[in-house]
Structure 1
Amino acid sequence: MKRLFLFIFACSLLSPSFSQPTTKLSAGQIKLKLKKLNVLTSVLYVAAHPDDENTRVITAMANEKLAATAYLSMTRGDGGQNLIGSEIRDELGLIRTQELLAARRIDGGDQFFTRANDFGFSKSADETFRVWGKDEIMHDVIAVYRQFQPDVIITRFPPTTDAGHGHHTASAILAQEAFDISADKNAYPELASSFGVWQPKRLYTNTGRWWNKTINENTPGIIVVNIGNYNALLGESHSEIAARSRSQHKSQGFGSAGTRGNQLEFLEYMRGDRATKDIFDGINTTWSRVKGAEKVQTLVSKAIAEFDEEHPEKTVENLLMLRQEILKLEQSVWKVRKLKETEQLIQDCMALFIEAASDVYWASPGEKTNVFFELVNRSSLDITISKVHASGLDIDSTLNLPLKNNIPVLFKMKRNVASTNRFSGPYWLNEPHGPGKFVVEDSKMIGKPENDAAIQIHLDVMLKGMSFTITKPLIYKWTDPVKGELTRRFEVVPPVFVNLNDKVVIFPDGKSKMISVRIKSSSAAVKGSLRLQLPAGWRAVPEAIPFQLKEREEEQLKTFEVIPASNEITAVLKAVAEVNGKSFDRALQIISYDHLPLQVLMPEASAKLVRLNLKKEGETIAYIKGAGDDVPAGFRNMGYQVWEMKNDEVTAENLKRVDAVVLGIRALNTNTRIRFMMTDLMEYVKTGGTLVVQYNNNFDLETENFSPYPLKLSRHRVTEEDAAVRLLKPEHLVLNYPNKITTDDFSGWVQERGLYFPETWDPSFDAILSMNDHGEESAPKDGSLLIAKYGSGYYVYTGLSFFRELPEGVSGAYKLLANIVSLGKPKQLSPVKGKVKSR
């Protein structure tokens, strides 16, 4: 095989690429996409969160009905729980965004979002709209309607309390009200000027059996969708594809088994024209809906009829003629959509491989980077690269580069990253935001699931006398000895990162603490100084520390002595690096899971400073991991040593060596060995220990025997973080020793008070606190903190959301948790040799 090597250096320019591994379609997949070219209709599925969407319906609409299909999620799922790691809030929202995109890559849908933030469980749509700001989120829904132009809207939930969550109900209300006004040019006129107006044909609800238990295929007015049909071109049933899609929601624990055979979904009429048998009744799904497209339908049908599975490139000539006819059409959503599909099909039929990879995975503005190109035309058709341009790399080059059949063209170039490039990172996290919605300054980004690639490469190609442009993102790729070839996005980053070692630093008295900052170079050589920005009255010694990083990726740890002020305060500490007269204050955070593209976040390099008079008893906490949280870091901040016990370390002998044992959140749901630990744990309590069990779901428990006395869990929760807290037993030890707890200590809590409180409990338990959300005064929740004496020790069950409060530096949460683990007399224990892992 002849291999052509072409090296282009400083005087010439080039570059292409991909952010996911470059995958090529099978002949069956290409055939399905050809058939989809002949279908002109669209469906928008609407709900509130990642994992709310019915992947079975989306799969069937995209792959059987061949409709342009998308899911509009009001939020990114930031307020949920995380079963795969300790990320919560914004970081969890990023994970769940990527899980949705992974799901859509499987089921064939597109993805949209609004600016709404998932602020946690909400009990009513009214509360949801108060927090979100209804008008602003309605703006975003209308923007998606007018941009995507769906014929059919399908909501997952009804606009009533049957939806079970205020966000769910709100999503349905927004969908219906947007349906009513999307065609009104006076409603959100700025969107009308950008996208025009649009009136969907009908709106149906994907009726769920939990609120409509009697529904079946014979229910009057119901549209039935069989989502279990087998798709021969894809080699799977739609329900099997949907299960793989659903299983991408790993942070929610929604792995799903594929099913086979007929399965029915039900759609219930809500708005617009009624359908009779099919959801697309009365909708023109052909090219005749587009003015001047008479020839297009014929050309598409010809391409489908003449498609040769063993030689897909034979279809390219038909596709090129089709492209020319589409270009003649008046501007419309269908022109844009079908032109994009056609141009991608041309590449698919030619098995055209175009990739540009940098030799580094990030660089700062103005820095040079090597880019390696691989171009392969795996067809007998002649294609020529005529121009390459990429403003992000200052590339603009005219070429005459032919790509011959199956002969790789490899070349390298070195270019500066444009100084005008912004730093990478999720666009919705660029600005600080409140609990209700994200701040997005660029209105063109609203609705988009994620940023475009930091560097996009555009290649103009000539094929049979016709020209079009192929756009690829710049990537970095490497070979893992176990996983094989991997890729990640190329990122534009600052020349240095500054990471504080702790997100929260507790000063329990007036003594100073040593605070470390890890400074890391993203460039070849960086020199400057590092400073801390502190609140008034606080001091850092020294005031500044010089640094010199000689190599890319080099790290240094710099330590300051921070001397607090005497008054109790919660404030913010920032770390700033000064380089060549410029200030850089970005930290580096990597989120890496096998089922998702690697995510790079660059948040502000800051930490919470909490000065409070905190007392504690004991020295060592054993922590048994559940779903994952940062509570162990909170204990270390209080001055405890934390032994994060592995399952085989939870033994009677080891338990004797600790002052308290704490189970991580949802340990009873996620730790399959927890049932075998309970005998030793209960004996530990009986002989004088303190066991703290944090919240769990009341279903899928690994054991029912987790308490010395009867205790029944529920789904009760208090979602208002500022809900009044009443002290039921103000004289109880836990509210008095070693720290005095008052209702003031429940100020400043975030997202919620707590969740999944016990519903009933044995009289042996003392209920310590009472609380309720607005409007639930007649049914207060008293089960958030239950404490029982068992033998000579204490058993504690709490649904209070310590896992959310500690990372936010909520002082009252630290004081109360210190009291909980200090229950009982302090013990004189021998040190834990080689076991305690303290920071």
Structure 2
Amino acid sequence: MRKGTFAKLFSVTTAVALAGSLVLPLAPHTAHADRGVVDLWKAIKPLTTIASAMNTGAHPDDEHSATLAYLSLGKGVETSSIIANRGEGGQNEIGSELNNALGIIRTRELEEASKVTNVKLGILSEDTNDPIYDFGFSKSPDETLEKWGEEEVYERLIRKIREHRPDVLIPAFLNVPSTHGHHRAINVITVRAFEDAADPRVFPEHLERGLAPWQVKKLYVPASEKEYDVRVPVGEYDEIYGASYLQLGEESRFMHKSQGMGRHYDEGPGFNYYKLEKSVDGLNAKGKENKTAAKEPDFFEGIAYTFEDLADEVRGAPGGGKLAADLSKLQKDADEVIAAYPSFARVAEKVHKMLTDVQQAKAAVQAANLGDGVRADLLHRLKEKEEQLNKASAEALSLVAKVKPETGELVAGQTTQVTVTAYNGGQVKWDQVKLQLHVPTGWKAKAVGSTSVSQLGYNQTAKAVYEVTVPDNEAYFHPYEKPVMTADVAVAAFGSTSVTNAVPSDAVAVLPGFSLSTSPSATVWNTFKPYEVIPVKVTAKNYHPGKANAEITLALPSGWTAEPKSAPVSFEAKGETKSVAFTVKPSAAVKPDQYTITAVARGNGKESRHGAQVIRYPHIGTTYFVQPAEVTIQAFDLNIPEGIKVGYVSSGFDNIDQYLQLVGVNVVPLSAKDIESGDLSQFDAIVLGIRAYGFRPELIPSNARLLKYVENGGNLVVQYHKPEDKWKPELAPYPITIGTPLIEWRVTDENSKVTMLAPDHKIFNTPNRITDADWDHWIQDRSAYNPSKWGKEYVELIQNGDPGEEEFTGTFLTANYGKGTYTYSSLVWYREIPGLVPGAIRLFVNMVSLKQ
């Protein structure tokens, strides 16, 4: 059925006066005059095919970016990427945000990455603290699906398949033991969904939402050069984009900055390989039974790829002749659009002609005597084509649509102005330009003046102003919901009307009228010092549009007291902040446990117990995380040596130093100058943060100074590293080799049994006695990137492993060196200490207190 590939219908020589490679570094770039030509091609290429493909993965950055770029940007295939969770359990290479705040960052990065490759994005996790959460590394798909809720994650995947209706399905990973359990789980349910998405008995409630069952045609899985059915030429150089598809894919990966993704690749041949795992009856599964069979030319062999293919499918149906003619006409229209490139005006004319023909074809499909399945399939593909044509029209007409709120930070009950504009940067004069603002149900949007113009010429702007009122009871901003404001710009040209959707450049958020933050947000109360009080500072930011007054109090556990009991604050303007200091006295009856203090602001007729964390980075813009304004207090017994002074070398991936300060340790952050030439002997201990050798360039040249510090009586603590962090065994005083592959050298069960191999060692006894109870209530993991070999001089402190696996004894190593001590630990302190895990804090204090 597959038709021949499109011939080159235009000369690229006029279009290739482009800026070169789009694989750009992280800094902002000057706008290039040729980007309109590239964006125009990006918009019209999808008109040439009706095929679709879906890639599934577990986390942001799991997408097969080069393959997606080839399919979407190179072939014009309707391409979607479905990701399970939002990466909340990972590390952050650009800031200190972790957990849900990190998930928000990674979601925005994924959204921006998807824009680069023109890919439709779907995320199975729908909320903060969603069951489909990145709970950390897993070795097992069964564990992953159990924690996520297998039925829930499977229903959401089936729903996405039925929404997007892909012809080809490609999980990003294989279900093999060497792979992350999250990746394996997505493979398991994607393979299973190949049949189940087509079965009306599976999640029949989808029919009530208008989602019909859908049979994917082919399922491919990653393969190798030695055994594959399809190889994707990602190294092909595209003259229009000025880059290979591998490079274009990496341009999208550069958006994953919180994970340090994106690499620069040279030009040249390269391939990604895939094996056909399943297919519907009648499609040849080449390479399965007959190993000598010819390879498939691409994913879509035997699948309808063009409108002409669809015409062939319906031509034999009753009354299908006219419908086939309508579909063939769309093929001709698409060819004419491509032939008109790079003339913007000619492309616009052909796009609007095709838009008219698509709308006529939709009516013809509705009227034709077709089976429900065929009709639904055709209408879905025509609807997608209509969406693509609207985008193509905007590019060809050089339409720039914008939604510009007077402010993006709103409070419930507020009224503000929002301006919608449409700029004509092209040579085609538009007719009947209409600008419509959309707001959620319950909001009011009243136009102030006209919302349409009869004509708009080159370099002219149409404008509509709306007065928008937020309901008094409106919920706070949610980072994963659709924008609360969008606009449609309808433009008539060449006999048809296209509609362009626009959203504000940054999030428009309904925030607490008084946004509260607490300092600290989490702390320890030492039950050995019941006479001590807890200082709590509450900072309130006024988001009301003008003056406002509030009374700040603390909601305390029973029997606790605060001085003052309340404090008034007054604001003269929006954005102003005021702080109030409280002294909290725990009840005399407090026992080791976790307690919560909540900040409360009452004023302007409302009460707020929440704060809005502003998340702002250049590559993702501004968004917010609204959460309760709380102080978490962990009460437990803790001994701290008097006057201990610790130097901390942060890699930027953890904030352990801040928590050590909270419990009473004098911690000094060390700069490059301190490490290179400062007086290290003043410190009782020096701690290197996780992966510090990879991200603090002064460390390796200064490593001899650090070891000399130990030799002279110092205490050096080194947290885990990966081999790629420039770690070498000889950086330690006695060699330490990190185990590879890394997946096999970690303990993911936070409840796994820990055996102390040297229970009489000082590290387990001074100044805090460590017992088995101190290994309880750890979170997410035990250890990562454990050593596989180490010098005989080290004392092996613990033995630990995941259930059913061989236990590690190199997780926690310490040795005397000269007059001092050197400790290397792969325990995940960076999660446990901010998590206020009592045993981890007690043990970390012992570790920095260690002396010969």
**TM-score normalised by length of structure 1:** 0.86
Compared CA separation, residues 766 and 526, structure 1 to 2 (3 A):
same
Structure of greater relative contact order (alpha carbons < 8 Å, 6+ residues apart): 1
Work out which of the residue numbers 274, 277, 302 in structure 2 matches 1:270: 277
SS at match of 1:321: helix
Tell which deviates more after alignment, 403-412 or 765-774: 403-412
Matches for 1:699-718 after TM superposition, within 5 Å: 699-701=724-726, 703-714=728-739, 715=742, 716-718=745-747
Of 455-464 and 810-819, more deviation after overlay is shown by 455-464
Cα distance in 1, alignment partners of residues 344 and 606 from structure 2? 59
**In 2, Cα distance between equivalents of 1:576 and 1:289:** 62
Match in the other structure for 1:795: 822
Query: In 2, distance between residues paired with 1:326 and 1:808?
Result: 59
The CA distance in 1 between the partners of 2:498 and 2:44, in whole Å, is: 19
SS in 2 for 1:60: helix
**Which of 411, 432, 439 pairs up with 1:364?**
411
- Residue in structure 2 matching 1:167, options 175, 182, 198: 182
Counterpart Cα distance in 1 of 2:601 and 2:212: 47
Secondary structure in structure 2 of the residue aligned to 1:813? helix
Aligned to 2:87: 77
Verify: 1:233 aligned to 2:240, yes or no: yes
Distance change in 2, residues 1:570/1:660 (3 Å):
same
CA spacing shift, 1:114–1:388, aligned 2, 3 Å:
closer
Q: Which moved more, 1:104-113 or 1:404-413?
A: 404-413
CA distance in 2, matches of 1:313, 1:784: 64
Shift of residue 75, structure 1, vs aligned partner: 2.0
Is the 1:76–1:117 Cα contact (8 Å) retained in structure 2?
Answer: yes
Matches within 5 A, 1:35-46: 35-46=45-56
Q: Tell me which residue corresponds to 1:300.
A: 334
Structure 1 residues 246 and 174, CA, compared in 2 at 3 Å: closer, same or farther?
A: same
8 Å Cα contact 1:521/1:554 also seen in 2: yes
Amino acid at match of 1:730: P
Match of 1:774 in 2: 803
Match among 792, 795, 808 for residue 763 of structure 1: 792
Deviations 1:384-414 (A, max 9, x none): 3345343356225464423232123456555
| 1:404 is the counterpart of 2:457 | yes
1:27 aligns with 2:41: no
- In the other structure, the counterpart of 1:500 is 518
Which stretch shows the higher mean deviation, 269-278 or 324-333? 324-333
Distance 1:415 1:391 in 2: 8
How has the CA–CA distance of structure 1 residues 186 and 152 changed in structure 2, closer, same or farther, with 3 Å as cutoff? same
1:485 alignment counterpart: none
Shift of residue 26, structure 1, vs aligned partner: 2.2
Distance in 2, Cα, partners of 1:410 & 1:259: 46
CA distance in 1, matches of 2:144, 2:432: 55
Number of the residue aligned with 2:371:
none
- CA shift in 2, pair 1:21/1:206, >3 Å: farther
Verify the 8 A CA contact 1:85 1:629 in the aligned structure 2: no
Paired residue type of 2:724: F
Does residue 1:315 correspond to 2:350, yes or no?
yes
Secondary structure class of the residue paired with 1:717: coil
Alpha-carbon distance in structure 1 between the residues aligned to 2:678 and 2:338: 72
Q: Which residue of structure 1 aligns with residue 570 of structure 2?
A: 548
Please name the residue that 1:531 is paired with: 553
RMSD across aligned positions (CA): 2.4
Q: Distance in 2 between matches of 1:613 and 1:317?
A: 74
Name the CA distance, whole Å, in 2 between partners of 1:639 and 1:259.
52
Mapped to 1, the partners of 2:458 and 2:653 lie a distance apart of 52
- 1:458-607 to structure 2, matched below 5 A, reads 458-463=488-493, 466-467=496-497, 469-475=499-505, 488-508=506-526, 509-510=529-530, 511-523=532-544, 524-565=546-587, 566-607=590-631
Task: Work out the CA distance in 2 between the residues paired with 1:576 and 1:780.
Answer: 48
Q: Which residue of 1 is the match for residue 768 of structure 2?
A: 739
Matched residue, 1:253: 260
**Partner Cα distance (1:380, 1:203) in 2:** 44
Q: SS in structure 2 opposite 1:756?
A: coil
Letter in 2 for 1:324: Q
Q: Aligned with 1:79: secondary structure?
A: coil
Aligned match of 2:708: 683
Counterpart of 1:390? 438
Which of 788, 802, 811 is the aligned partner of 2:838? 811
Q: Distance in 1 between matches of 2:170 and 2:572?
A: 57
Q: Whole-Å Cα distance in 1 between the matches of residues 814 and 771 of structure 2?
A: 18
Aligned mates of 2:143, 2:380 — CA distance in 1: 36
Cα deviation for residue 706 of structure 1 reads 2.3
CA 255–308 in structure 1, closer or farther in 2 if over 3 Å, else same? closer
Q: 32-41 vs 403-412, which deviates more?
A: 403-412
Partner of 1:833: none
The SS at the match of 2:702 is: helix
Question: Structure 1 142/59 Cα, relative in aligned 2: closer, same or farther at 3 Å?
Answer: same
Aligned to 1:629: 654
Gap runs ≥5 in structure 2:
1-28, 126-131, 287-295, 315-322, 367-375
Q: Does the aligned pair in 2 maintain the 1:675–1:705 contact within 8 Å?
A: no
Superposed, which structure 2 residues align to 1:112-131 within 5 Å? 112-115=122-125, 116-131=132-147
Give, in whole Å, the separation in 1 of the partners of 2:550 and 2:30.
Answer: 38
- Which whole-Å CA distance do the structure 2 matches of 1:671 and 1:421 have between them? 46
Task: State the Cα distance separating 1:665 from its structure 2 match.
Answer: 0.9
Q: Distance in 1 between matches of 2:342 and 2:809?
A: 69
Which residue identity lines up with residue 812 of structure 2 in the other structure?
L
Paired position in structure 1 for 2:8? none
Matched residue count = 759
Equivalent in the alignment of 1:616: 640
Distance 1:25 1:347, change over 3 A: farther
TM-score when scaled to structure 2? 0.85
Deviation of 1:21 (Å): 13
Please state how far the C-alpha of 1:679 moved relative to its aligned partner. Answer: 1.3
Question: Conserved in 2, the CA contact under 8 Å of 1:534 and 1:574?
Answer: yes
Distance, in Å, in 1 between the alignment partners of 2:112 and 2:679 is: 43
SS at match of 1:426: coil
> Aligned-pair distance for 1:695?
0.9
Does the 8 Å contact 2:453/2:462 carry over to 1? no
Distance in 1 (CA, whole Å) between partners of 2:257 and 2:504 is 28
Counterpart contact for 1:771–1:780, Cα < 8 Å: yes
Structure 2: distance between partners of 1:420 and 1:296: 49
Please give the per-residue CA displacement for 1:67-94, whole angstroms capped at 9, x wherever unaligned.
1111222222222222222222222222
Partners of 2:717 and 2:48 in 1: how far apart?
Answer: 61
Q: Could you say if the C-alpha distance between residues 685 and 99 of structure 1 is closer, same or farther in structure 2, counting changes exceeding 3 Å? A: same
SS in 2 for 1:36: helix
> 1:664-686 deviations in whole A, cap 9, x for unaligned?
11102222221112111111111
Instruction: Say if 1:155 and 1:204, in contact at 8 Å, map to a contact too.
Output: yes
Which residue is equivalent to 2:20? none
Counterpart of 1:176 in structure 2 is 191
More moved, 295-304 vs 173-182: 295-304
Deviation at 1:58, TM superposition (A): 0.9
1:731 to 1:658, Cα distance in 2 relative to 1, 3 A: same
The percent identity for this pair of structures is 27
Aligned-partner Cα distance in 2 for 1:70–1:308? 27
Deviation of residue 263 (structure 1)?
1.1
Distance in 2, matches of 1:713 and 1:627, equals 21
Rounded to whole Å, the distance in 2 between the matches of 1:317 and 1:95 is 38
Contact 1:313 1:381 in 2 (8 A): no
C-alpha distance after superposition, 1:780-803 (max 9, x if no partner)? 112222111112221111111111
